Amino acid sequence: MAPPPNTYSESWWGGKEERGTPVVVKMDNPYSLVEIDGPGMAAPSEKARGKNAKQLTWVLLLRAHRAVGCVAWLAAGFWAVLGAVNRRVRRSRDADAEPDAEASGRDRAMLRFLRGFLLLSLAHARLRDEKYLRRLPEHLQHLPEHLRRHLPEHLRMPEKEEIEGWLHRAYVAWLAFRIDYIAWAIQKLSGFCIALFMVQSVDRLVLCLGCFWIKLRGIKPVADTSISNDDIEATAGDGGGYFPMVLIQMPMCNEKEVYETSISHVCQIDWPRERMLVQVLDDSDDETCQMLIKAEVTKWSQRGVNIIYRHRLNRTGYKAGNLKSAMSCDYVRDYEFVAIFDADFQPNPDFLKLTVPHFKGNPELGLVQARWSFVNKDENLLTRLQNINLCFHFEVEQQVNGVYLSFFGFNGTAGVWRIKALEDSGGWMERTTVEDMDIAVRAHLNGWKFIFLNDVKVLCELPESYQAYRKQQHRWHSGPMQLFRLCLPAVFKSKISTWKKANLVMLFFLLRKLILPFYSFTLFCVILPLTMFVPEAELPIWVICYVPVIMSVLNILPAPKSFPFVIPYLLFENTMSVTKFNAMVSGLFQLGSSYEWVVTKKAGRTSSESDILALAEAADADARPPQAKLHRGVSEGGLKEWAKLHKEQEDATAAAAAAAAAAAPGTPVKKSKAAKAPNRIFKKELALAFLLLTAATRSLLSAQGLHFYFLLFQGVTFLAVGLDLIGEQVS
């Protein structure tokens, strides 16, 4: 006969403890203590009761201590955040007080209004929840039968006699209107946005699979390195080889911080000097900057580099007008290819030797595009997040489209064009702010092919301030909509295949330039917070969490070192959807800001690990006399001119101060100090931060866990961006 089961076990304090059949208890009130007797659970002795009471007391005290500590920590953190926000707002207000006191007063009034409205909303939500959540079943008696099916099952339907008062009937009427009209509209719009979201996710997944296949099979463009007799005769003085005539254009405008580094890198490209011409295309309206750039060009010209300086009196057409003006020179007809570098790009000496040979034996090839790399990608959080986006753009989008379609958007710089392709496509046009995408689309419609070289990298800078990045993104997202509206008839009239037309319209323009900012802004910044106030239109969890996280992980794969930033990247991309959506709408409907062109502010970063000047000095130490060594820094003539202008400005300031002191002897003279760049307030981001944080509060009171965390973190991200707390403030 089997022995009876042992119902005793050793407890953690050494005594014996009775065991019985396990019982799972679900308690509606977590703060009540319930004593449960089950089979095999005998009544404990008085001694055991005393021990249990003491242990329970200590456990409760310990948990209460932890709860109090947690609350104190949260309160201290919240207070610190409020203090930082207050200091930031005061600093911005003080910086703007002198130039525009009236605007500052309006900002202070707006801030006080927002604070009061937030407190009033929180108090109203709290009172409303306490009042109606207790008596909600009593307020729903008048709902029609088809509306009762939408209510949770645990709500009791009281009799009509329990409902009293016109306020109750008004509330019930509001619920009916909300379910029939508001919730219906939100559900239809959210369903449409979710469908767009899934289509864009599938497109991104296909691009990632294409990139994986390219990596797996080692697919990449191969240049023709063979040397013909014509090449030997054409370059007999250079030892033979394929060295066609190459024109290098460097458009710039008021970019003192980077012009010297960029010119020095371009002038040291390894190419026969008689077969290369450098055009420095200066649109600067700052006379000091003009003199500095002209002095730098003179310095390199004296060292034997074939370089010229061109300056326009006005900026008609911006960059497109600058390039168009340069291409109209008579000597351009002697050149076969043109390479373009913006003012902050630093090409390696072998750039032309790695790109130009791809044109040999390939008469249909119109463009060879190199990849960008960044000298300041680890400068701050903003540059890290930009690096994630651009790595995916080059590694996945550009490479896959280049390999499988022979078409992609020209990036505007770090590329080599066949001049014949530019001329056949109509040349540079000034009709949009994305002249690079414009010329690429027109060349594609004329049958020219493109090649993207992922292993040829050119150093450049990322914008380090949010304001500069915001303006850059506005231009990059309003321009494609201008171009889409202008070139759509030409696409349907072109002779390219139907598949290429569909790819150009549906994928290149609509999906990646229009649909992406539309659904990102509408779904995560508008619909999601509204569902907290209209619970009948709740979004599924997989739309809020699972799919966005998966897509963010796919975006980070080309930059694996940035994996710890996957959550900040997801939140920041949703925040930037406001700027992108606004730019998309302004470009599509020809609003005033769509033609705004602001030069992206540069900081003048250089890469210490790839100092091209040091490499050039080491390579040419034997062939160059000591006095001809290359030096970084402004040329002597430029320094003298700059010092002269600076001295004149200081003298003028001192004279004005002396005159003011003589006019008012009793008035103290205020000492001037270096102006610190104030933090700016971005009102659109702050308005959405207010909406999201209010929705997060509502979600917390409704006990919706995941929605609360997403809304809270997204609202905090909007708040940080709206107060200009991300990136560097560049004056």
The residues annotated with a catalytic role in the active site are: 283, 436
Exposure of 609 in the CB half-sphere (CA atoms within 13 A) = 4
Q: What is the DSSP string of 364-402?
A: TEEEEEEEEEETTTTSSHHHHHHHHHHHHIIIIIIHHHH
Per DSSP, the chain holds a count of helices (H) and strands (E) of 25, 9
| The residue to which tokens 């975006």 are assigned | 555
User: Which ranges in 303-348 belong to alpha helices (H)?
Assistant: 318-327
Tokens of 162: 């329990």
Q: Give the type of residue at 103.
A: A
d(CA 502, CA 511): 11
Q: Are 249 and 343 in contact (CB under 8 A)?
A: no
The C-alpha angle with vertex 216 and arms to 210 and 218, in degrees rounded to 5, equals: 95
Q: Kindly report each contact of residues 85-93 with a partner whose C-beta sits within 8 Å and lies 24 or more positions away, as own/partner.
A: 85/719, 85/723, 88/679, 88/723, 88/724, 88/725, 89/681, 89/723, 91/678, 91/679, 92/678, 92/679, 92/680, 92/681, 92/724
Closest residue by Cα to residue 438 from 485, 402, 399, 471: 485
Tokens of 536: 């009948």
d(CA 187, CA 168): 26
d(CA 62, CA 55): 11
Backbone φ and ψ of 365, nearest 5°: -80, 125
d(CA 358, CA 327): 23
Greatest alpha-carbon pair distance for the chain in Å reads 118
Our measurement of the distance from residue 103's CA atom to the centroid of its chain's CA atoms, rounded to an integer in Å, reads 29
d(CA 516, CA 221): 30
3-class state of residue 479 by DSSP: helix
Q: Which residues make Cβ contacts (< 8 Å) with residue 532, sequence separation at least 6?
A: 695, 696, 698, 699, 702, 704, 707, 711
Region label for 727, one of left (φ > 0), alpha (ψ between -120 and 50) or beta (otherwise):
left
d(CA 468, CA 376): 15
Strand ranges (DSSP E) for 583-719?
Answer: none
Q: Which residues make Cβ contacts (< 8 Å) with residue 44, sequence separation at least 6?
A: 18, 52
Beta bridge partners of 371: 457
Q: What is the DSSP string of 400-414?
A: HHHHHTS-----SSS
Q: Are 374 and 390 in contact (CB under 8 A)?
A: yes
